[in-house]
């Protein structure tokens, strides 16, 4: 393997720009007279690659390879142990005509909207409030962030107990004011509301911290100018804060979309399967999200090919939604 | 450092090649090894075996082998499947849950045939229908039965008495000879005990009604039969309590709170007694057990199996046949409410004693005959997956008030699709 002279005195100014007039030359411009303007190939950086390789090796073994292996699986029928059987696009054909798959997509989207909208709006409002707080700043920040680092299983069990149909806390409180028990965990819509509420509770603090960081980067002079022009707090919020925060909002929207569409543990724990009913997702499968359906198909029904097809179809959907999100949030930026 | 496009592509190709290598290497790690190893590992899950018996097995066999046990939590089937597929660190002895057995049978070659090791000689000690469920069509025996789950009817003696209904188990069994008798009794009981229900949900009725027959959703020739008369009848039976208003429609964990309060009866397997006892300790002495309507069925019950990689098959087989000998089986019942698959155990003192939770009733007198009367049925590998939509639709009836006939149509069409997906014709 040939390696170009790295530390040769002549090589330094052309590559690094060096001090003096070289700085004003366009990068990579080769001075006349030099015969071989060799670029350094990636292999000459092998030490650096070696240094970062642990991450990549682990990534390849546990993420990269499984991802593409699942793509391969999507065209097979496999029970996890026996021989694989190539079935072409059959799994995707099944998918297309599987009402449960479409139900799971609907559930996921509804839960996503029901959780993301209040989460992001609430986070922005809380961040603005917290930004103007003078005392106990640290306390508020920690208090609002704690739900995000709480074990999701613990939270789901807690929500399950609080919203329990027959003996839950919420229904008990409603009962004291004369409202008859609400079937939180069996009505198809209320199931989604409870799951969305759980996710909102967990993720508002996380987004709030990100927004707060963004708010602190806005110079106070802008707010002072707005105040001078007679803008009230609400108007300042919508016409100063929100437009400046647009890139950060975009970031949180994309992240929330990816997270929100991957809801799995919440319904999985809330509606843990019992002996009599092996299905996941609760009554009427109203809490069956796409990932939960994937889990059920692959790991409970031993239909790994179909499970792989579900996640790949879902991957396409997430890409589309993120692209749509991007366009909506970006719109008007250039105008 | 800026990476050129070519450089990036090179890196990508290298990456792909490396991952290819990983795969190639991963596939060839099957170890030959000797078959008289001194170390044996046993995988089971909490409550699958009596911990006391397992601990004794360790000392009993300590002269010949060192037995290490691991209680595996979480999704046992999934972990076993992954380990078997990987081919290394495979346990020498493993538990397999009854409901998962059917899905392991197509891959019977991953396990040793217990008949070669001497199971044939002792198989008559175990219930034939249970043994058969762990047997391939060509007669390979991969599972050694641990326990079974014969079903019966648990009922609240005090609430029955309040309604002026007979409370003696034998007499109640007479009253509920058919499903219709049982439901009519429920209507009567509910009138006298307002706010109570006969069944917790209709899925449990369906489950037992299907299990009472000899055929399920897929026949031995791998044809879908879930739309036929026997399943339709079980469905109609299951929907009855719903239409009569004696269904509590409990499909979540509120069962724990409901069982001691407003449930008149519980349909369930022998192990369900422990669930009731734990959920409603306050109702001690108020429950009784009798034969369930029509006849018993089975719910659950596990096996021990020896994977192909077992390091010492002879010794391993000796260990499992010792752990699961009728005498030790009976102890499993006392220690962990594991209902033995060996009928000889039913006559042993460990099982014939009165049960205080059931007001001193000798419950083996109900479960013993039930265990022997369970029909011989065929469970296909895809059976559990195909059954799932029926359960879902029954829950839909309860949760959304879906019309039973529509629910039936949807259940059948979905079950058909799942069956096709799993290669059933």
What pLDDT tens digit does each residue of chain A (335 aa) get?
444 444 444 444 444 444 444 445 455 555 555 556 566 788 888 898 899 999 999 999 999 999 999 999 999 999 888 889 999 999 999 999 998 999 999 999 999 999 999 999 999 999 988 988 888 888 998 999 999 999 988 998 899 889 887 778 898 899 888 888 888 887 888 999 999 999 999 999 999 999 999 999 888 898 889 889 888 888 888 888 888 898 899 889 888 988 888 888 888 888 865 544 556 777 778 889 999 999 988 888 888 999 999 999 999 988 898 888 778 777 755 54
- In this prediction, the answer to ipTM > 0.85 reads no
Three-class DSSP category at B355: strand
Residues of B in Cβ contact (< 8 Å) with A68 = 19
Query: Model-level pTM?
Result: 0.79
Evaluate whether residue A202 is within a structural domain.
yes
Evaluate whether residue A254 is within a structural domain.
yes
Topology adopted by domain B151-297+359-421: D-Maltodextrin-Binding Protein; domain 2 (3.40.190)
Chosen for mutation from A39, A51, A81 (greatest number of chain B CBs closer than 10 Å) is A81
Q: Is A277 on the interface with B (CB under 8 A)?
A: yes
Q: What values do phi and psi take at B394, rounded to 5?
A: -65, -40
Subunit contact A160:B253, Cβ cutoff 8 A: yes
Q: Is A265 on the interface with B (CB under 8 A)?
A: no
Residue in chain A closest to B396 (alpha carbons) equals: A284
Residue B31 pLDDT: 43
Query: Which residues constitute the domain of residue A245?
Result: 93-330
Separation between Cα atoms, residue B192 and residue A57, nearest integer Å:
70
User: Cβ contacts of residue B207 below 8 Å, gap of 6+?
Assistant: A276, B297, B299, B391
Subunit contact B201:A276, Cβ cutoff 8 A: yes
Q: Is B399 on the interface with A (CB under 8 A)?
A: yes
Subunit contact B258:A166, Cβ cutoff 8 A: yes
Q: Is B204 on the interface with A (CB under 8 A)?
A: yes
Domain B39-148+300-347 belongs to what architecture?
A: 3-Layer(aba) Sandwich (3.40)
Residue in chain B closest to A92 (alpha carbons) equals: B421
Residue pair A111/A193 in contact by the 8 Å Cβ criterion: no
Indicate the number of domains in chain A.
1
Subunit contact B252:A275, Cβ cutoff 8 A: no
Instruction: Name the residue among B418, B375, B176 with its Cα closest to residue A98.
Output: B418
pLDDT averaged over 10-residue windows placed end to end, chain B, 425 residues = 57 56 42 69 91 92 92 88 90 93 92 94 94 92 94 95 93 94 95 93 93 93 94 96 93 79 92 89 94 92 94 93 92 86 92 91 93 92 90 88 94 92 85
Q: According to CATH, where is 3.40.190.10 located in chain B? A: 39-148+300-347, 151-297+359-421
Q: Is A271 on the interface with B (CB under 8 A)?
A: yes
User: Cβ contacts of residue B71 below 8 Å, gap of 6+?
Assistant: B44, B45, B46
Residue A284 pLDDT: 76
Evaluate whether residue A67 is within a structural domain.
no
Evaluate whether residue A226 is within a structural domain.
yes
Q: What distances in angstroms separate CA B109 from CA A299, B31, B112, B306, one per listed residue?
A: 21, 16, 7, 11
Evaluate whether residue A47 is within a structural domain.
no
CATH number, domain containing residue A183: 1.10.3720.10
Subunit contact B84:A277, Cβ cutoff 8 A: no
Subunit contact B253:A48, Cβ cutoff 8 A: no
Q: For helices B5-27 and A65-73, what crossing angle results, to 10°?
A: 70
Question: CB-based burial of residue A1 (10 Å sphere; 0-12 exposed, 13-18 middle, 19+ buried)?
Answer: exposed
Evaluate whether residue A58 is within a structural domain.
no
Among A41, A81, A272, beta carbon nearest to B107: A81
In chain B, residues 81-110 whose CB comes closer than 8 Å to chain A: 81-82, 84-85, 103-104, 106-107, 110
Give the pair of three-digit tokens for residue A137: 């700043």
Rg for chain A (alpha carbons), in Å? 27
Closest-CA distance of chain A to residue B64, Å:
32
Separation between Cα atoms, residue B160 and residue B166, nearest integer Å:
7
């Amino acid at each position: 393997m040939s390696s170009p002279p790295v530390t040769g005195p002549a090589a330094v100014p052309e590559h690094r720009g060096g001090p003096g007039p070289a700085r004003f030359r366009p990068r990579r411009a080769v001075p006349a007279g030099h015969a071989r303007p060799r670029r350094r190939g990636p292999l000459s950086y092998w030490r650096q690659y070696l240094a970062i390789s642990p991450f990549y090796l682990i990534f390849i073994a546990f993420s990269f390879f499984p991802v593409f292996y699942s793509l391969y699986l999507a065209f097979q029928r496999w029970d996890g142990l026996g021989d694989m059987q190539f079935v072409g696009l059959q799994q995707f054909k099944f998918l297309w005509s599987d009402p449960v798959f479409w139900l799971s997509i609907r559930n996921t989207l509804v839960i996503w909207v029901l959780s993301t909208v209040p989460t992001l709006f609430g986070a922005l409002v809380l961040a603005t409030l917290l930004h103007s707080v003078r005392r106990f700043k640290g306390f508020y920040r920690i208090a609002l962030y704690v739900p995000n680092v709480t074990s999701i299983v613990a939270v789901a069990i807690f929500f399950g107990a609080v919203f329990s149909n027959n003996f839950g806390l919420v229904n008990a409180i409603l009962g004291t004011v004369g409202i008859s028990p609400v079937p939180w965990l069996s009505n198809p819509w209320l199931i989604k509301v409870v799951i969305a509420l759980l996710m909102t509770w967990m993720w508002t603090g996380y987004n709030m911290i990100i927004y707060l960081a963004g708010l602190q980067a806005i110079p106070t002079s802008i707010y002072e100018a707005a105040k001078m022009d007679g803008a009230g707090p609400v108007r300042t919020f919508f016409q100063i804060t929100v437009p400046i925060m647009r890139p950060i909002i975009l970031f949180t929207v994309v992240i929330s979309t990816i997270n929100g569409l991957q809801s799995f543990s919440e319904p999985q724990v809330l509606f843990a399967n019992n002996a009599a009913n092996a299905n996941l997702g609760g009554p009427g499968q109203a809490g069956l999200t796409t990932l939960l359906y994937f889990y059920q198909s692959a790991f409970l029904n031993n239909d790994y090919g179909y499970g792989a097809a579900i996640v790949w179809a879902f991957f396409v959907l997430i890409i589309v939604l993120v692209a749509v999100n991007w366009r909506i949030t970006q719109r008007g930026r250039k105008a | 450092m800026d990476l050129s496009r070519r450089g990036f592509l090179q890196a990508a190709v290298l990456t792909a090649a490396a991952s290819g290598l990983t795969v190639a290497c991963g596939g060839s790690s099957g170890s030959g090894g000797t078959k008289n190893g001194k170390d044996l590992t046993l995988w089971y899950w909490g409550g699958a075996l009596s911990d006391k018996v397992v601990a004794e097995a360790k000392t009993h066999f300590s002269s010949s082998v060192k037995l290490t046990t691991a209680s595996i939590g979480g999704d046992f089937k999934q972990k076993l499947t992954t380990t078997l597929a990987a081919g290394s660190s495979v346990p020498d002895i493993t538990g397999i849950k009854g409901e998962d057995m059917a899905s392991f049978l197509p891959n019977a070659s991953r396990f040793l045939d217990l008949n070669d090791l001497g199971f044939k000689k002792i198989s008559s000690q175990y219930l034939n229908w249970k043994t058969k469920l762990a047997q391939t069509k060509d007669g390979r025996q991969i599972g050694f039965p641990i326990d079974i789950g014969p079903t019966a009817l648990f009922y609240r003696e005090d609430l029955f008495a309040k309604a002026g209904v007979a409370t003696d188990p034998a007499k109640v069994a007479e009253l509920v000879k058919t499903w219709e008798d049982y439901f009519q009794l429920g209507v009567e009981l509910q009138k006298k005990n307002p706010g109570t229900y006969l069944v917790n949900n209709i899925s449990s009725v369906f489950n037992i009604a299907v299990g009472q027959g000899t055929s399920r959703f897929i026949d031995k020739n791998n044809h879908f039969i879930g739309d036929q008369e026997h399943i339709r009848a079980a469905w109609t039976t299951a929907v009855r309590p719903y239409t009569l208003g004696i269904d509590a429609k409990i499909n979540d964990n509120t069962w724990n709170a409901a069982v001691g309060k407003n449930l008149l009866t519980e349909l369930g397997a022998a192990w369900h007694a422990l669930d009731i006892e734990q959920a409603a300790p306050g109702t001690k002495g108020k429950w009784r057990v009798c034969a369930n309507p029509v006849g018993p069925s089975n719910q659950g019950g596990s096996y021990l199996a020896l994977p192909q990689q077992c390091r010492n098959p002879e010794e391993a087989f000796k260990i499992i046949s010792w752990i699961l000998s009728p005498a030790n089986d009976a102890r499993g019942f006392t220690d962990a409410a594991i209902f033995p698959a060996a009928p000889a155990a039913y006559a042993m003192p460990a099982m014939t004693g009165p049960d205080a939770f059931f007001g001193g009733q000798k419950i083996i007198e109900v479960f013993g005959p039930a265990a022997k009367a369970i029909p011989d049925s065929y469970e296909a590998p895809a059976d559990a997956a195909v059954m799932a939509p029926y359960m879902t639709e029954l829950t839909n009836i309860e949760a959304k008030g879906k019309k039973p006939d529509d629910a039936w149509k949807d259940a059948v069409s979905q079950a058909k699709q799942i069956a096709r997906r799993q290669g059933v014709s």
